[in-house]
């Protein structure tokens, strides 16, 4: 049975990806910091799809935890076919001079360093089997910087660059590396960005039919369905009302 590892599977894109792959018969490794949610998702996937689920509770920012918890999984789970590097966040939306430096650390440590720590553990397993597919969740924010998006956009531009680098590193091993860059999608993303301010979070999606988490999961899954010699390298997806991270036609 094929195995997918999805980071940040307690909500949003990650949960939808875990569900979508499980529905296709994959055994699933899910990760996140919220233990209770992780267990709920695990139970739901097992009951609904009858697949094996390994729920791993760790913070991707903590390299020791990543190495111990993920690096210590049983041998039979290391045969990971697809890694979806999804865990991430935006924190705040401010000009740099008014920015909260703790927000910057959270974004840089999660979106860039966390993705690297997880990949650092999984890539050797894929390399030893000369097989695998890594899908990094970037953003339209990787492609164009929008007002006050500064550090978040920079972290996603880094994901874009790291994806290109990984593809070169893994070329000799025939491991696919894909970046999927979604535009505005209604998940917990804006509630996290605006620290629980519902009005600010809702305003992001006003007058817009945003992407759903399922839309993104469907595209991520699609990328894994192509023949072995075909790799989607870089895929940008937006709501029809959004031309890029900056221009949105709200009606
Ligand atoms: P959600 O807030 O709904 O989900 C984020 C997930 O990431 C949660 O499962 C959360 O789990 C996990 N996560 C966050 N920080 C950490 C951490 N330090 N360690 C482990 N897990 C963590 O957001 P989305 O689903 O929308 O976002 C998923 C990814 O997609 C992010 O990388 C985001 O930047 C990107 N993205 C989002 C877009 C959007 O408009 N929604 C558009 C483009 C890209 P827990 O809190 O339990 O740890
Ligand atoms: C999330 C999309 O436009 O809020 O990456 O940056 S956006």
Q: Please give the average per-residue pLDDT across 133-160, as a whole number.
A: 98
pLDDT tens digit string along 181-219?
999 999 999 999 999 999 999 999 999 999 999 999 999
Q: Please give the average per-residue pLDDT across 219-238, as a whole number.
A: 98
Atom 5 in ligand 2: which residue has the minimum CA distance?
A: 139
Q: What is the mean pLDDT of the chain?
A: 98
Question: What's the pLDDT at 210?
Answer: 98
Q: Please give the average per-residue pLDDT across 86-101, as a whole number.
A: 98
What ipTM score was computed for the predicted complex, to two decimals? 0.99
- The one catalytic residue among 26, 117, 146, 152: 152
Q: Which of 11, 92, 179, 191 to mutate to test the pocket of ligand 1 (most atoms within 8 A of CB)?
A: 11
Question: Catalytic residue at 146?
Answer: no
Q: Is the CB of 155 under 6 A from ligand 2?
A: no
Question: What's the pLDDT at 96?
Answer: 98
When computed from its CA atoms, the radius of gyration of the chain, rounded to whole angstroms, is 17
Q: Where in the chain are the domains?
A: 3-183+211-237
- Do the Cβ atoms of 83 and 135 come closer than 8 Å? yes
CATH code given to domain 3-183+211-237: 3.40.50.720
**Which band of pLDDT confidence, cut at 50, 70 and 90, is reported for residue 32?**
very high
> What is the whole-number distance in angstroms between the Cα of residue 192 and the centre of ligand 1?
9
Q: Which of 154, 189, 246 to mutate to test the pocket of ligand 1 (most atoms within 8 A of CB)?
A: 189
Question: What's the pLDDT at 182?
Answer: 98
């Amino acid at each position: 049975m094929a195995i997918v590892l999805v980071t940040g599977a307690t909500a949003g894109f990650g949960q939808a990806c875990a569900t979508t792959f499980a529905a296709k018969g994959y055994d699933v490794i899910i990760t996140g910091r919220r233990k209770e949610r992780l267990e709920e998702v695990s139970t739901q996937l097992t009951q609904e799809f009858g697949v094996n689920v390994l729920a791993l509770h760790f913070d991707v920012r903590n390299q020791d935890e990543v190495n111990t918890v993920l690096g210590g999984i049983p041998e039979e789970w290391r045969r990971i076919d697809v890694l979806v590097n999804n865990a991430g966040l935006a924190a705040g939306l401010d000009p740099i001079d008014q920015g909260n430096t703790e927000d910057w650390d959270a974004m840089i440590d999660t979106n860039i360093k966390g993705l690297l720590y997880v990949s650092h553990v999984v890539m050797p397993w894929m390399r030893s089997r000369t097989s695998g597919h890594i899908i990094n969740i970037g953003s339209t924010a990787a492609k164009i910087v929008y007002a006050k998006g500064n550090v978040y956009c920079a972290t996603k531009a880094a994901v874009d660059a790291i994806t290109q680098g990984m593809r070169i590193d893994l070329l000799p091993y025939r491991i696919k590396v894909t970046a999927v860059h979604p535009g505005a999608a209604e998940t917990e993303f804006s509630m996290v960005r605006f620290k629980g301010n519902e009005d600010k979070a809702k305003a992001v999606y006003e007058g817009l039919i945003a992407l759903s988490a399922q839309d993104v999961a469907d595209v991520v899954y699609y990328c894994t369905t192509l023949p072995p010699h075909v790799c989607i390298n870089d895929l940008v997806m937006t709501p029809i009302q959004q031309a890029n991270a900056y221009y949105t036609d709200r009606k």
